[in-house]
Amino acid sequence: MKHLATFLSVAALCAWLNGITSLHAAEVRDWTNNAGVTIRAEALSFTEDSVVLKLENGREYTVALNTLSDADVEYANKTREEMAAIANAPELKTEPIMATPGKILYSSPLTQIDSDWRTAVGSWSASEAGVSGTEVAADDHAAVMKRAMPLKDVIIEFDVLLGSGKSASFGLDDAKDHVCRVTITPTSFQAKKDDNDHEGPDVGKPFNSIQEELETDEWHTVRMEILGETLLAQTGDHISLGSDPLLATEKAKWGFIVSGETIGFRDLNIWEALPSEDGEKEVARLKRRLDIED
Protein backbone atom coordinates (compact mmCIF):
# COMPACT_ATOMS: atom_id res chain seq x y z
CA MET A 1 0.00 0.00 0.00
CA LYS A 2 1.19 3.51 -0.78
CA HIS A 3 1.45 6.30 1.72
CA LEU A 4 -1.13 9.03 1.87
CA ALA A 5 1.23 11.71 0.59
CA THR A 6 1.48 9.82 -2.71
CA PHE A 7 -2.17 10.56 -3.40
CA LEU A 8 -2.98 13.79 -1.60
CA SER A 9 -1.74 17.34 -1.59
CA VAL A 10 -0.62 18.88 1.69
CA ALA A 11 -3.95 20.68 1.92
CA ALA A 12 -5.88 17.47 1.36
CA LEU A 13 -3.67 15.67 3.83
CA CYS A 14 -4.44 18.29 6.47
CA ALA A 15 -8.12 18.09 5.65
CA TRP A 16 -8.17 14.33 6.22
CA LEU A 17 -5.93 14.49 9.25
CA ASN A 18 -8.31 16.40 11.48
CA GLY A 19 -9.71 16.43 16.31
CA ILE A 20 -7.93 14.24 20.90
CA THR A 21 -6.87 12.98 24.47
CA SER A 22 -3.60 11.87 25.87
CA LEU A 23 -2.14 8.73 27.27
CA HIS A 24 1.01 7.22 25.85
CA ALA A 25 2.47 6.17 22.54
CA ALA A 26 1.39 3.03 20.78
CA GLU A 27 3.26 1.23 18.00
CA VAL A 28 4.19 2.67 14.62
CA ARG A 29 1.79 1.11 12.12
CA ASP A 30 -0.18 1.70 8.94
CA TRP A 31 -3.40 3.71 9.23
CA THR A 32 -5.98 3.67 6.44
CA ASN A 33 -8.86 6.08 5.95
CA ASN A 34 -12.25 4.99 4.68
CA ALA A 35 -11.25 6.04 1.16
CA GLY A 36 -8.49 3.42 1.19
CA VAL A 37 -5.55 5.84 1.55
CA THR A 38 -2.79 4.70 3.91
CA ILE A 39 -0.14 6.49 5.97
CA ARG A 40 2.42 5.16 8.42
CA ALA A 41 2.26 6.80 11.83
CA GLU A 42 2.56 6.41 15.56
CA ALA A 43 -0.56 6.84 17.71
CA LEU A 44 0.21 9.26 20.53
CA SER A 45 -3.16 9.42 22.26
CA PHE A 46 -6.82 8.53 21.97
CA THR A 47 -10.30 9.79 22.79
CA GLU A 48 -13.60 8.06 22.17
CA ASP A 49 -13.85 9.66 18.72
CA SER A 50 -10.31 10.64 17.67
CA VAL A 51 -6.66 9.66 17.63
CA VAL A 52 -3.52 11.82 17.49
CA LEU A 53 -1.08 10.46 14.90
CA LYS A 54 2.59 11.37 14.54
CA LEU A 55 3.87 10.92 11.01
CA GLU A 56 7.39 9.80 10.16
CA ASN A 57 8.30 13.44 9.36
CA GLY A 58 7.46 14.39 12.95
CA ARG A 59 4.21 16.23 12.23
CA GLU A 60 1.21 15.47 14.44
CA TYR A 61 -2.43 15.41 13.37
CA THR A 62 -5.72 14.72 15.13
CA VAL A 63 -7.84 12.25 13.16
CA ALA A 64 -11.53 11.55 13.66
CA LEU A 65 -12.14 7.82 14.08
CA ASN A 66 -15.14 7.94 11.76
CA THR A 67 -12.75 8.72 8.89
CA LEU A 68 -10.71 5.55 9.46
CA SER A 69 -11.15 1.95 8.36
CA ASP A 70 -13.11 -0.43 10.56
CA ALA A 71 -9.90 -2.30 11.44
CA ASP A 72 -8.21 0.92 12.58
CA VAL A 73 -11.24 1.98 14.62
CA GLU A 74 -11.23 -1.42 16.33
CA TYR A 75 -7.48 -1.12 17.02
CA ALA A 76 -7.86 2.43 18.38
CA ASN A 77 -10.72 1.52 20.70
CA LYS A 78 -8.95 -1.58 21.99
CA THR A 79 -5.69 0.30 22.59
CA ARG A 80 -7.50 3.17 24.32
CA GLU A 81 -9.24 0.71 26.65
CA GLU A 82 -5.95 -1.06 27.42
CA MET A 83 -4.21 2.25 28.16
CA ALA A 84 -7.07 3.36 30.39
CA ALA A 85 -6.95 0.06 32.26
CA ILE A 86 -3.22 0.50 32.87
CA ALA A 87 -3.68 4.10 33.95
CA ASN A 88 -6.46 3.10 36.36
CA ALA A 89 -4.86 -0.15 37.49
CA PRO A 90 -5.34 -0.92 41.19
CA GLU A 91 -2.34 -1.13 43.47
CA LEU A 92 -1.44 -4.32 45.28
CA LYS A 93 -2.53 -4.39 48.91
CA THR A 94 0.38 -6.69 49.75
CA GLU A 95 4.04 -6.87 48.71
CA PRO A 96 4.96 -9.62 46.21
CA ILE A 97 8.00 -11.73 47.06
CA MET A 98 9.21 -13.43 43.90
CA ALA A 99 7.48 -11.42 41.15
CA THR A 100 6.74 -7.86 40.20
CA PRO A 101 3.42 -6.81 38.67
CA GLY A 102 3.22 -6.06 34.95
CA LYS A 103 0.05 -5.01 33.18
CA ILE A 104 -3.32 -5.55 34.83
CA LEU A 105 -5.16 -8.50 33.29
CA TYR A 106 -8.39 -8.50 35.30
CA SER A 107 -9.86 -6.25 37.96
CA SER A 108 -13.23 -6.37 39.72
CA PRO A 109 -14.64 -5.42 43.13
CA LEU A 110 -16.93 -8.46 42.63
CA THR A 111 -20.03 -6.40 43.37
CA GLN A 112 -21.81 -8.11 40.49
CA ILE A 113 -21.57 -11.43 38.68
CA ASP A 114 -21.22 -10.75 34.96
CA SER A 115 -22.14 -13.23 32.25
CA ASP A 116 -18.55 -14.49 31.85
CA TRP A 117 -18.68 -16.13 35.27
CA ARG A 118 -20.01 -19.71 35.40
CA THR A 119 -21.93 -20.42 38.61
CA ALA A 120 -23.75 -23.67 37.83
CA VAL A 121 -22.54 -25.39 41.02
CA GLY A 122 -23.56 -24.05 44.42
CA SER A 123 -25.39 -20.85 45.26
CA TRP A 124 -23.78 -17.52 44.36
CA SER A 125 -24.90 -13.92 44.83
CA ALA A 126 -23.38 -10.45 44.68
CA SER A 127 -23.89 -7.23 46.61
CA GLU A 128 -22.01 -4.01 47.36
CA ALA A 129 -19.96 -6.06 49.85
CA GLY A 130 -18.73 -8.50 47.19
CA VAL A 131 -19.70 -11.95 45.99
CA SER A 132 -20.80 -14.82 48.27
CA GLY A 133 -20.80 -18.54 47.61
CA THR A 134 -22.53 -21.36 49.49
CA GLU A 135 -22.26 -25.10 48.96
CA VAL A 136 -25.56 -26.82 48.12
CA ALA A 137 -25.90 -30.33 49.55
CA ALA A 138 -27.89 -31.59 46.56
CA ASP A 139 -24.96 -30.78 44.24
CA ASP A 140 -22.71 -33.21 46.11
CA HIS A 141 -19.85 -30.85 45.22
CA ALA A 142 -18.27 -27.67 46.51
CA ALA A 143 -19.69 -24.42 45.13
CA VAL A 144 -17.72 -23.25 42.09
CA MET A 145 -17.60 -19.87 40.32
CA LYS A 146 -15.10 -19.74 37.45
CA ARG A 147 -14.49 -17.87 34.24
CA ALA A 148 -12.61 -18.77 31.05
CA MET A 149 -9.65 -16.48 30.37
CA PRO A 150 -6.09 -17.58 29.55
CA LEU A 151 -3.44 -16.85 32.19
CA LYS A 152 0.15 -17.97 32.64
CA ASP A 153 2.58 -16.09 34.90
CA VAL A 154 0.38 -14.00 37.19
CA ILE A 155 -0.04 -12.25 40.51
CA ILE A 156 -3.55 -12.80 41.89
CA GLU A 157 -4.90 -10.92 44.88
CA PHE A 158 -8.32 -11.00 46.55
CA ASP A 159 -10.01 -10.64 49.93
CA VAL A 160 -11.92 -13.46 51.61
CA LEU A 161 -14.35 -13.51 54.54
CA LEU A 162 -14.63 -17.04 55.91
CA GLY A 163 -17.76 -16.54 58.00
CA SER A 164 -19.21 -19.93 58.92
CA GLY A 165 -17.82 -21.71 55.85
CA LYS A 166 -15.49 -24.72 55.92
CA SER A 167 -12.97 -23.63 53.30
CA ALA A 168 -12.39 -21.17 50.47
CA SER A 169 -10.13 -21.78 47.48
CA PHE A 170 -8.95 -19.98 44.39
CA GLY A 171 -8.16 -22.54 41.71
CA LEU A 172 -6.73 -22.48 38.20
CA ASP A 173 -7.33 -25.12 35.50
CA ASP A 174 -5.76 -25.85 32.14
CA ALA A 175 -7.85 -26.94 29.16
CA LYS A 176 -7.93 -30.49 30.53
CA ASP A 177 -8.15 -30.42 34.31
CA HIS A 178 -7.10 -28.72 37.55
CA VAL A 179 -3.61 -27.17 37.82
CA CYS A 180 -3.24 -25.53 41.23
CA ARG A 181 -5.04 -23.75 44.06
CA VAL A 182 -4.70 -22.02 47.37
CA THR A 183 -7.06 -22.96 50.20
CA ILE A 184 -7.84 -21.06 53.37
CA THR A 185 -9.89 -22.43 56.29
CA PRO A 186 -10.58 -21.20 59.82
CA THR A 187 -7.54 -23.20 60.97
CA SER A 188 -5.18 -23.51 58.00
CA PHE A 189 -3.66 -22.02 54.85
CA GLN A 190 -2.11 -24.06 52.02
CA ALA A 191 -1.25 -23.99 48.32
CA LYS A 192 -1.02 -27.11 46.20
CA LYS A 193 -0.38 -28.42 42.73
CA ASP A 194 -3.55 -30.31 41.78
CA ASP A 195 -4.11 -33.78 40.37
CA ASN A 196 -4.21 -33.04 36.64
CA ASP A 197 -5.66 -36.31 35.34
CA HIS A 198 -7.60 -37.91 38.23
CA GLU A 199 -7.59 -41.49 36.92
CA GLY A 200 -4.11 -41.27 35.41
CA PRO A 201 -0.64 -41.37 36.98
CA ASP A 202 -0.59 -37.72 38.06
CA VAL A 203 -1.31 -36.97 41.71
CA GLY A 204 -1.87 -33.86 43.77
CA LYS A 205 1.12 -32.25 45.46
CA PRO A 206 0.25 -30.26 48.59
CA PHE A 207 2.79 -27.62 49.57
CA ASN A 208 3.68 -26.68 53.14
CA SER A 209 0.60 -26.13 55.31
CA ILE A 210 0.19 -23.46 57.98
CA GLN A 211 -1.92 -24.65 60.90
CA GLU A 212 -3.19 -21.65 62.81
CA GLU A 213 -6.50 -20.15 63.94
CA LEU A 214 -7.68 -17.43 61.54
CA GLU A 215 -10.36 -14.86 62.32
CA THR A 216 -13.56 -15.84 60.54
CA ASP A 217 -15.31 -12.47 60.89
CA GLU A 218 -12.48 -10.42 59.35
CA TRP A 219 -11.44 -10.02 55.73
CA HIS A 220 -8.14 -11.72 54.82
CA THR A 221 -6.12 -10.61 51.79
CA VAL A 222 -4.72 -13.56 49.84
CA ARG A 223 -2.00 -13.22 47.20
CA MET A 224 -0.87 -15.90 44.75
CA GLU A 225 2.29 -15.52 42.67
CA ILE A 226 2.74 -17.97 39.81
CA LEU A 227 6.00 -17.62 37.93
CA GLY A 228 7.27 -20.45 35.78
CA GLU A 229 7.15 -23.67 37.78
CA THR A 230 6.75 -21.98 41.18
CA LEU A 231 3.65 -21.01 43.16
CA LEU A 232 3.86 -18.82 46.25
CA ALA A 233 0.71 -18.05 48.24
CA GLN A 234 0.50 -15.69 51.20
CA THR A 235 -2.03 -14.31 53.66
CA GLY A 236 -0.74 -12.16 56.49
CA ASP A 237 2.59 -13.68 57.56
CA HIS A 238 1.61 -17.16 56.38
CA ILE A 239 3.37 -18.45 53.24
CA SER A 240 2.84 -21.70 51.33
CA LEU A 241 5.34 -22.37 48.56
CA GLY A 242 6.26 -25.07 46.07
CA SER A 243 7.26 -25.93 42.52
CA ASP A 244 6.13 -28.32 39.81
CA PRO A 245 6.43 -28.34 35.98
CA LEU A 246 2.63 -28.32 35.65
CA LEU A 247 2.50 -24.81 37.11
CA ALA A 248 4.25 -23.40 34.02
CA THR A 249 1.42 -24.45 31.69
CA GLU A 250 -1.15 -21.97 30.38
CA LYS A 251 -4.26 -21.82 32.53
CA ALA A 252 -7.58 -21.73 30.70
CA LYS A 253 -10.05 -20.92 33.49
CA TRP A 254 -9.96 -19.90 37.12
CA GLY A 255 -12.07 -18.81 40.05
CA PHE A 256 -13.47 -19.47 43.50
CA ILE A 257 -14.46 -22.66 45.31
CA VAL A 258 -16.46 -22.80 48.55
CA SER A 259 -17.06 -25.73 50.88
CA GLY A 260 -19.76 -25.45 53.53
CA GLU A 261 -21.70 -22.37 54.51
CA THR A 262 -21.46 -18.89 52.99
CA ILE A 263 -18.03 -17.37 52.30
CA GLY A 264 -17.45 -13.91 50.84
CA PHE A 265 -14.93 -12.59 48.30
CA ARG A 266 -14.12 -9.07 47.12
CA ASP A 267 -11.54 -7.04 45.18
CA LEU A 268 -10.16 -9.63 42.77
CA ASN A 269 -7.20 -8.29 40.79
CA ILE A 270 -4.86 -10.17 38.47
CA TRP A 271 -1.60 -8.80 37.06
CA GLU A 272 0.92 -10.21 34.66
CA ALA A 273 3.84 -11.51 36.78
CA LEU A 274 7.37 -10.50 35.83
CA PRO A 275 10.53 -11.78 37.53
CA SER A 276 11.73 -9.51 40.31
CA GLU A 277 15.41 -8.70 40.75
CA ASP A 278 15.80 -10.72 43.96
CA GLY A 279 12.93 -13.14 43.40
CA GLU A 280 14.99 -16.29 43.00
CA LYS A 281 17.06 -15.49 46.09
CA GLU A 282 13.91 -14.83 48.13
CA VAL A 283 12.35 -18.11 47.03
CA ALA A 284 15.52 -20.02 47.89
CA ARG A 285 15.67 -18.32 51.29
CA LEU A 286 12.03 -19.13 52.01
CA LYS A 287 12.46 -22.77 50.99
CA ARG A 288 15.33 -23.09 53.45
CA ARG A 289 13.36 -21.39 56.23
CA LEU A 290 10.24 -23.45 55.58
CA ASP A 291 12.28 -26.64 55.07
CA ILE A 292 10.90 -27.17 51.56
CA GLU A 293 12.66 -29.57 49.23
CA ASP A 294 12.74 -28.94 45.46
Domains of the chain (ranges; CATH) run 4-87 (2.30.30.700), 99-289 (2.60.120.560)
3-state secondary structure of 5: helix
Q: Quick one: pLDDT at residue 188?
A: 98
**Cα separation of 87 and 198, whole Å?**
42
**Cα separation of 198 and 154, whole Å?**
25
Q: Quick one: pLDDT at residue 15?
A: 44
- Whole-model pTM: value is 0.74
List the single range of 11-15, 52-56, 81-85, 143-147 with lowest mean pLDDT. 11-15
- pLDDT reading at 275 higher than 60: yes
The helix or strand, by DSSP H or E, that contains position 193, with its residue range, turns out to be strand 188-193
**Cα separation of 270 and 85, whole Å?**
12
Mean pLDDT, to the nearest integer, of 236-261? Answer: 97
Instruction: Give the tens place of pLDDT for each residue, 66-113.
Output: 999 999 999 998 888 777 766 777 899 999 999 999 989 999 999 999
**Cα separation of 248 and 153, whole Å?**
8
Phi, psi (deg, nearest 5) at residue 207: -90, 180
pLDDT band at 288 (very low <50, low <70, confident <90, very high): very high
- pLDDT reading at 128 higher than 70: yes
Whether residue 142 contacts residue 257, with contact meaning beta carbons closer than 8 Å, is answered with yes
3-state secondary structure of 281: helix
